[in-house]
Structure 1
Amino acid sequence: MKLKTKINLFSTLLTLFIITTSFTGIFLIYQKLAFQNEYTQLQNRAGELMSGMSKVDANVNISSFLRAYIPSNGALRIVDENDEQLMNMQATATVERIPFVLEENADYTISYWKDMPIIATNYPLIWSTGEVVTLQLIEPLPNIAQNIALLKWILIAMALVAIIPIYLASSILAGIIAKPIQQLTTTMQQNITTNRYEQLPLQQNKKDEIAEMTTTYNALMHRLEDNYLKQQQFVGNASHELKTPLTVIESYAKLLQRRGFQNEQVAYEALTAITKETANMQDMITQMLQLASVNENVEIASSQTNIEPLLQEIAMTMQQAYAREVRIEGNSFMLMTDAAKLKQLLFIFIDNARKYSDQPITVTMTDKQIIIEDTGIGIPEKDLPHLFERFYRVDKARNRKTGGTGLGLAIAKELADLLHLTIQISSAVGVGTTVTISSKDVMIHE
């Protein structure tokens, strides 16, 4: 069953249930009030009878006196303490004896005779002999029966007539709710068929759940399209980048086949080149895996981290591995961050400074910022906006010499986003490069 049909049936049945319950309540309340009103009238009649009874002369015919108080088309009975009938009078308009029921401890009792409600009640009465007797008043209620029947059919007719507008209104409501869902389903099916990322039209100034669902879906499609384009670009770039070392390896391998066994110098040159290109490929694959792992939903193990020890570890590594001096300056500070990921981020920039400069590298700690400076060859201004793009190289020949893959800064940008850090790079050709890393809530110094 479709959602639209479910909503239509559910809302229709629910509305009918509410109407039926309401009409039933109205019917029962009206019936209760009608019987209560008749009971009040019988109370008044009994009160007048008892008041008049106390003033009746002994010579007055008691039957004639009581006949004046017989309810309309009803009956009046007098019974003693043993429930023996002393007097029974019935209106002349009623041919048959009116049956009735009296319940104990009830103000009045409603029973039915020929589908007609009969109200009966009793009151204590001092009889002419001085003994206490019971006065029973019984009255048929034909008018109330007619009114109740009429009200019942009116309410039934209203409920039946209401089914049509209720069904139509429910159908319209179901259509309003189901329409965006149908649009969503149709758009998704088209996207699956055509391999596209079509979005849903969003009406302006709407803030309901449907608009929220549309906005969320459009954001999802935009992200999927963006990731798909990045994936295509990544695959294309990776294929292109891997093609160069593979071509070199293949060329030198063929050279070994032709001349390597006769010429030791050629064999040594070929093996050296193959080893170098293999190492480059291994570095590239490692960085590609790192970039993929950074893009996953990883957990950040934040803790209060002292920045200077991290920088000292990196400086020691640079000294031992590359015999390069890294000068740590400024005052250390504490930062709530993931120490391992921050160390990886800092290593990328310091290692870049080591690759493209010969002089000592200066790292300054100030105002919860880390500033990495080198006096190397610098970066052209036109290349600065593209530095964080995957596989982007300022100078491909220069990067090939230093073993660059074009992924290091892309990894650094992903790590910075995870750690809620901002990166600013300023550089001048022949002067050097300055990288400023800071928290997003701290102003960046130019």
Structure 2
Amino acid sequence: MKLQTKIILTSTALLFILLVIANSSIYFIFKKTMEDNAMERLQAETSNVTNGLKQTSATVKQANLLRAYLPPNGMIRILPKSGGPLVVSVTDQTKELQDLPYSYYSNEQTTIKEDDGHLYAISHTPVIWTNGEVVSLEVTEQLADVEQSLQTLKFILLIASLVILIPTIFAGRLLSKIILRPIKSLIHTMEEIQVSRTFKKIDLSSSSKDELDQMANTFNNMMDLLEENYKKQEQFVSDASHELKTPLTVVESYANMLKRWGMKRPDILEEAIEAIHSESLRMKQLTSQMLVLAKDESQWKLHMEHVDAAAVCNQTIKHLEQAFERTIYLNIKTDHPVVTADEKRLKQLLYILLDNAIKYSEKAVEVTITKSESFMITVTDQGIGIPKEDLSNVYERFFRVDKARNRETGGSGLGLSIARKIVEAHSGRIEINSQEGKGTSVTVSFPL
């Protein structure tokens, strides 16, 4: 069932129920009021008949007296304790009332009864008859005016309900169109996206500032985000393919060389094995880095603990000094160089920052540990620096500053992307300050 049909049916059904409840309440309240008025009127007439019987002399026939008090559309009967009525007083227009069932009542009471689809008000009161017997005086009146009023009220309520329901159906249809217009536009746009395989947005000709307008804006923002992520993914795949293409080409070339002359020339064999081994390690490192970037921080399962940052820095510096035969200074400007972090990730972060500093600088590198409002580790080099226009791009995957595109120094361009993810996973912050030709300073801050 369509949403538009559901809206129309639901709104119409709810209104119909409310109308039934309201109309029923009006009808029964009106009926009760009319019946109460009729009973009060009949009680007064019965009291008049009783008083008349008491004050009338014995010479006047009781039957004639009852006819004098007879209601225009009613009947008077004298009912003994047993047997049929002693007296029945009716008019020519109310002869059919004689067939109404009767009962003797020893007390006063007035009721409303329905017989054969007609309403009757019946009042009973005990009186002493001429023979000294206590009988029940029954005064009956057909409530034709009440029946007519109730029929008129039914007709009015029915017409009023139709007058309300019919426009409501059309109003519900119009309202559903207004509500569903942006939803249909959303569906149409999504179908176009599915067919054309392109990113499209909902055309917002006017702003209604409601939830539907908010939904459309949210969808458009989502499309912008998806398109941006899709382009980044395409760029990432393209860059990854490009980065892997070179080592694969080198491996293939040396493999072909080995097939031709490798067994006959030891120098080519050694050169090919060394090149293949080197390129294999580079592909392994590149693949490992890409897998790190592909994972979300929530999947890293950090083991947070109190880590002696000074000891970690000393160990890392020692390894890199031996590997690259470079000088790296460590300055500790705090008495308690302990930080809450994952020790393995902290080591990985230091390797990335120090590796970059060593690659882009021929002079000594300095590592500084400080603690104030946060725990900070700063890696400073005196190398080629980064142009100001490139500072905002250095965290992008596979990005390398133009002066560093030589593969011997430039690396894969993934290091700072991984470094930023490590810092963000620790709820920290990374900042780079650099001047071209003077050097670069990278500061990572961890919350205390």
TM-score bracket relative to the smaller structure: 0.7 to 0.9
Alignment check: 8 A CA contact 1:100 1:138 kept = no
Identify if the C-alpha distance between structure 1 residues 388 and 82 changes in structure 2 by more than 3 Å, giving closer, same or farther. Answer: same
Deviation at 1:107, TM superposition (A): 5.0
Secondary structure of the residue aligned to 1:139 is strand
Normalised by the length of structure 2, the TM-score is 0.82
1:92-171 to structure 2, matched below 5 A, reads 92-100=92-100, 107-113=110-116, 115-125=117-127, 132-171=134-173
CA offset at residue 241 of structure 1? 1.2
Equivalent AA in structure 2 for residue 422 of structure 1 = R
Alignment of 1:362-373 (within 5 A): 362-373=368-379
Relative to 1, partners in 2 of residues 1:37 and 1:386: Cα closer, same or farther, differing over 3 Å?
A: same
Do structure 1's residue 433 and structure 2's residue 432 form an aligned pair? Answer: no
Aligned-pair distance for 1:284? 0.7
Kept in 1: contact 2:310–2:337 (CA 8 A): no
Deviations 1:253-292 (A, max 9, x none): 3443444434433332332222112111111111111111
Deviation track 1:138-192 (CA, whole Å, cap 9, x = no partner) reads 1112222222223323333444455542332122122122222211111011111
Instruction: Answer yes or no: is 1:225 the counterpart of 2:236.
Output: no
**Identity rate, percent:** 36
Match of 1:413 among 400, 403, 420: 420
Which amino acid is the alignment partner of residue 211 of structure 1? D
Is the aligned partner of 1:382 residue 2:399? no
Distance 1:47 1:309, change over 3 A: farther
Q: Is there any run of 5+ residues in structure 1 with no aligned partner, and where?
A: none
Distance 1:425 1:33, change over 3 A: same
Q: Sort the Cα spacing of 1:424 and 1:321 in 2 relative to 1 into closer, same or farther, 3 A.
A: closer
1:22-421 equivalence runs, <5 A: 22-53=22-53, 55-57=55-57, 61-82=61-82, 85-100=85-100, 107-113=110-116, 115-125=117-127, 132-202=134-204, 206-294=208-296, 298=299, 306=306, 308-310=307-309, 312-320=311-319, 322-323=321-322, 326-330=330-334, 332=336, 345=349, 348-353=352-357, 355-357=359-361, 358-377=364-383, 378-395=385-402, 400-402=407-409, 404-421=411-428
- CA distance change for structure 1 residues 361 and 301 in 2, over 3 Å: closer, same or farther? closer
The answer to whether the Cα contact below 8 Å between 2:376 and 2:446 also exists between their aligned partners in 1 is no
Match of 2:325 in 1: none
What secondary structure does 2:396 align onto?
A: coil
CA contact (8 A) 1:369 1:438 kept: yes
* Inter-partner Cα distance in structure 1 for 2:101 and 2:316: 107
Closer, same or farther: CA 178–336 of 1 in aligned 2, 3 Å: farther
Aligned to 1:97, what secondary structure does the other structure show? Answer: helix
SS at match of 1:437: strand
1:125 and 1:315 map into 2 onto residues whose CA distance is 123
Could you tell me how far 1:233 is from its partner in structure 2? Answer: 0.6
Number of residue-to-residue matches in the alignment: 437
Whole-Å Cα distance in 2 between the matches of residues 206 and 416 of structure 1? 42
Q: Deviations over 1:16-65 (max 9, x none)?
A: 34334433433333323222221221122233444555555555544444
Instruction: Name the CA distance, whole Å, in 2 between partners of 1:338 and 1:92.
Output: 110
Relative to structure 1, the CA distance from residue 87 to residue 235 in structure 2 (aligned partners, 3 Å threshold; closer, same or farther) is same
CA contact (8 A) 2:77 2:138 kept: yes
Alpha carbons 1:353, 1:373 under 8 Å: kept:
yes
Q: What is the rounded CA distance, in whole Å, between the counterparts of 2:347 and 2:99 in structure 1?
A: 101
- Change in 2 beyond 3 A, CA 1:117/1:273: same
